[in-house]
Amino acid sequence: MDLQQLRYVVAVAETRNFTRAAERCFVVQSSLSHRIAALERELGVKLFARSSRRVELTDAGEAFLTGARECLAAADRAVVDAAAATGVVRGRLAVGVIVTTAAVDVPELLQRYRARYPDVRVLLRAGGSYELAAAIRKGELDIAFLGLPEGELPTGVETLALDHDQHVLVVPTGHRLAGAPRVTLEEIAEETFVDFMDGTPARTQSDQAFTAAGLTRDVAYEAGVAELITRLIGRGLGVGLLPSAFIRPLAADDPELALVPVVDGPRRVECLAWSRFNPTPATRALLDVLGVRPRP
């Protein structure tokens, strides 16, 4: 058994297709199939159930996959650690980011990071805060920029608060409240709302604020991205609540949107999260670029 065989198994397990797995591993399919078959003979078990149209992991394959991933991660880490010992940072850095990140200019940060650590391959993944925090705990991500209801930080990861922000009401420019100096949740509870998907941190921030005020509201439109939310609002289909630091620069260039402060509106904390267990040299390097000193 060797590391290349483990990589082939992981590739087939993730793509559920021998052809796509071979393309990912830059080998011909016959070679990949032969190596996996040889591994199965060595182990004395079938890792995959195959047909002309389907490929699925067997129970033995599911059990083997966990160990294979751990072995590959350990091997990759050994290479990175050896390089770090000589003062060179290389390897992979997987970064998660929410679409409404405002506390840090992520593209500018990654530009500075690449200038200082050109041997690190950076992978960027967008998603929801709960999803990204879970990915860090699983080892799929190294670090992530999150946005959560104030007072609610993820468990099982290291965190650092970057900014605290209050939501503002976003309305179309022709709305009756456009230009109002401020509003309360009670004054807007009867409006039709556009918001993020139910169950996401971005949605929970607003839901919790209305619940705390003893109010209910009608969310008629749900969207997974802020851009669609603002477009729906601009068309007069509803109003929304969005973090002020994120929406103010966008609304300044959008004649269809107006912002109104909300006295008792939702609040959120933007935070940085990274692996609590022995962060990689590439992760520590990004923290250094940010001016963050992780605990030893």
Judged against a pLDDT cut of 80, whether residue 39 lies above it is answered with: yes
Q: Band the pLDDT of 295: cuts 50, 70, 90.
A: low
What pLDDT, on the 0 to 100 scale, is given for residue 87?
A: 63
Judged against a pLDDT cut of 80, whether residue 170 lies above it is answered with: yes
User: What is the CATH number for 113?
Assistant: 3.40.190.10
Q: What is the mean pLDDT of residues 29-54?
A: 91
Mean pLDDT of the chain: 90
Q: Is residue 184 part of a domain?
A: yes
Judged against a pLDDT cut of 60, whether residue 86 lies above it is answered with: no
Q: Among 230, 209, 210, 232, which residue's Cα sits nearest to residue 220?
A: 232
Q: Is residue 69 part of a domain?
A: yes
Ramachandran bin of 276, using left for φ above 0, alpha for ψ from -120 to 50, beta for the remaining angles: alpha
Q: Band the pLDDT of 159: cuts 50, 70, 90.
A: very high
Contact yes or no for 96/201 (Cβ under 8 A):
no
Could you tell me the residue range of the domain that residue 113 belongs to?
Answer: 91-162+270-290
Judgement on whether residues 233 and 255 belong to the same structural domain of the protein: yes
Judgement on whether residues 121 and 80 belong to the same structural domain of the protein: no
Q: What is the mean pLDDT of residues 185-210?
A: 94
Contact yes or no for 103/245 (Cβ under 8 A):
yes
Q: What is the mean pLDDT of residues 118-126?
A: 91
Considering 65, 85, 105, which residue would you say is the last residue of a domain? 85
List, in sequence order, every residue forming a beta bridge with 240; answer none if it has no partner: 170
pTM, rounded to two decimals: 0.70
* Cα(228)–Cα(234) distance, integer angstroms: 10
